[in-house]
Structure 1
């Protein structure tokens, strides 16, 4: 086979990329300090899709890097592997012809440099300490020289994958909410919108491997559908509530011998929330309504306080330290059905308290539900909090400080000494 001499070893005349690989070999000085061959291989495998490398090349490079030793990458010697094509074929479960094609592709990609012996064979031997004395075969120095490139591409791909997971999660939540709202509308026989068509659209099959742009487009489409469904639900619900109630043909249920306890009713929860939220000197009459609303609007609640006071919500957040209001809103939307809070109660809370304050309210209900203070209807408790908000008597900040005391109780002051 025809070869040429360029001062660094024999180079097969395959393509211009081989000369580029030879120049990378000349620039080799070992891996950066603190970087191992396992880290190099990890970054390469994560960057491979962005570089357009197929699975065959990735598996070939993995097999070559694994037969090297850690000391080969320090810069004292070049990391050279000398497995035969038959050995590589057995390792990768590929034919000899396929292995030869993968080697040529790796050389063209500038990943390896072929250092040939005089007879074109691959061989090598190590010293007593395992260091390479002389070797001919695959010089993997270009991989080490391209470490920064692989690391940057791997980081970019990691960000892209995180963005993709976020979009898929949001897309799933939006589609589930569409189906939930439409199912609630069908259950209450609301008119004015094609609820079944919206359910069918939100239940359709998505592309198997959508691109990032396709996911963003799908999220925009379904977010628009959710907005239309929400608006239609609110309009139909108001229209239904305004219609006069006539004679009902449905049979009335006779009371059972074991009626539900009083705590399961909404008025009982309203009284319980009123007792918790009422503060001395604050009336709930119409005369004090304007002042109460002003105080509520000025109530500033930091997210850090919510997360500190209600650790029960942590398991539903992806990363507590980096959580934002949007993450808390998404978390309580997933938690609410677990407590039996239906979509209408959650929607009423968002309309009455606002998005962030409603999330705090649901998180507060979660804490009391987990502690066993709410033993019957968490949805009724949440509706009672909405009732307190309407009359200007709901104050979430004192409740959060009270919940915080559960985990960080105040220290009792030592008894005072009395002089005799």
Structure 2
């Protein structure tokens, strides 16, 4: 005897387009389709706003899923569950009868379950001679299988929107912090520029937007802060601009340096374009403190400073701007920096900051270290040459070691990227 599967609700409940759409989707579901019921429920939970269902309806749906013994849902008549209202209320954490009926109606209207009402509206199952269920009247979970891919796509969209919102809020927070601290540092250090106007623009942006702010508003706020950040960086670069000089007036006298004299003399000879032979002592050499360091040599010895330049380092102006940013990150106070600039000149002080940054954890107190070097420079007992050359040799030695290993396999001779025998500026 064939079994009739009901498609309309019992009593005064009318048939709606949502019910018909859910039944059509269930009929069109392939027989080989399957879905993990709790994974599908998780997707429904994330996409509840798009589906128009509330928390109480989700609690009731979770209770309905517990009445199905299998974790994997597959199309068929065994997807009909038939709990009583009392048992369903217990598993749904005890809602009132009115709330339970309202939640069930919401699930049916959302097309998540289908009513399979009996002739008298009761929920039950008719069993055969072997105890197997021949026909059940209750709630059909077939839409959860038929629309599993749709629910997964909706949940993915919600997750993507949440990630975009988090990234925008993160960017806004970082931009506000960077702008505020840069402006505060510039005002404290007395750097020239329209810092008061930039601070007023930051104040006009308001406080951090609330968490309920939409992505469109967050994107607009982030765009405005990006423009303000660009203006702050431009003002900072212009404020640290200064004419390039060969030496600072405050640096006088000589500094005795024990190093390879041929390299230092050849480097200076190439920089000034001199062709004549230079007599060099065999052991020690005297390097004037006023002798300028080539920028390329400094960058070869201290490559980490390049990470603090917004658009790379192509001249001393870019280098000074990067050193100002690195100084703040190292925790060197403005008074200490000003003392170092007065003692050794702005370029040499920036070179020292780059060297401190390159040495990393080896310098425990960068501010105290710079203050000590400033005192030695004021007494004519310090030059940046030995410091830079020591870092350059350490870096060149490590590169030569790696190149030697590679050269044994390729037959090529290792060589450093920078040759002190040539001139660079």
| In 2: Cα distance, 1:173 partner to 1:60 partner | 42
| In 2: Cα distance, 1:22 partner to 1:87 partner | 26
Q: Is the 8 A contact 1:31 1:144 kept in 2?
A: no
2:138 corresponding residue in structure 1: 137
| In 1: Cα distance, 2:103 partner to 2:36 partner | 25
CA drift of 1:376 comes to 3.0
CA drift of 1:228 comes to 2.3
Alignment size in residue pairs: 306
Equivalent position SS for 2:8: strand
1:210 corresponding residue in structure 2: 213
Q: Could you give the per-residue CA deviations for residues 42-97 of structure 1, whole angstroms, max 9, x where no partner exists?
A: 22222333333333333332222233222672345432222333444442443322
Q: Is the 8 A contact 2:37 2:72 kept in 1?
A: no
CA drift of 1:206 comes to 1.0
Q: 2:226 pairs with 220, 223, 226, which one?
A: 223
CA drift of 1:107 comes to 1.3
C-alpha distance 155-397 of structure 1, shift in aligned 2 (>3 A)? farther
C-alpha distance 134-287 of structure 1, shift in aligned 2 (>3 A)? farther
Equivalent position SS for 1:161: helix
CA drift of 1:142 comes to 0.6
The answer to whether 1:283 aligns with 2:283 is no
1:8 corresponding residue in structure 2: 5
C-alpha distance 75-82 of structure 1, shift in aligned 2 (>3 A)? same
Q: Is the 8 A contact 2:179 2:232 kept in 1?
A: yes
Q: Could you give the per-residue CA deviations for residues 122-166 of structure 1, whole angstroms, max 9, x where no partner exists?
A: 234899x99755432111101110011112222222222222222
Q: Is the 8 A contact 1:8 1:26 kept in 2?
A: no
| In 2: Cα distance, 1:75 partner to 1:104 partner | 23
| In 1: Cα distance, 2:394 partner to 2:52 partner | 54
C-alpha distance 204-125 of structure 1, shift in aligned 2 (>3 A)? farther
Q: Could you give the per-residue CA deviations for residues 263-307 of structure 1, whole angstroms, max 9, x where no partner exists?
A: xxxxxxxx9xx99xxx99993763589x9859x89xxx9xxxx9x
The answer to whether 1:185 aligns with 2:186 is yes
Question: Which stretches in structure 2 are left out of the alignment for 5+ residues?
Answer: 243-256, 274-291, 305-325, 338-346, 348-353, 371-383, 409-425
| In 2: Cα distance, 1:116 partner to 1:374 partner | 79
CA drift of 1:220 comes to 0.4
Equivalent position SS for 1:11: coil
| In 2: Cα distance, 1:374 partner to 1:77 partner | 74
C-alpha distance 393-400 of structure 1, shift in aligned 2 (>3 A)? closer
Q: Is the 8 A contact 2:194 2:235 kept in 1?
A: yes
TM-score normalized by the length of structure 2: 0.56
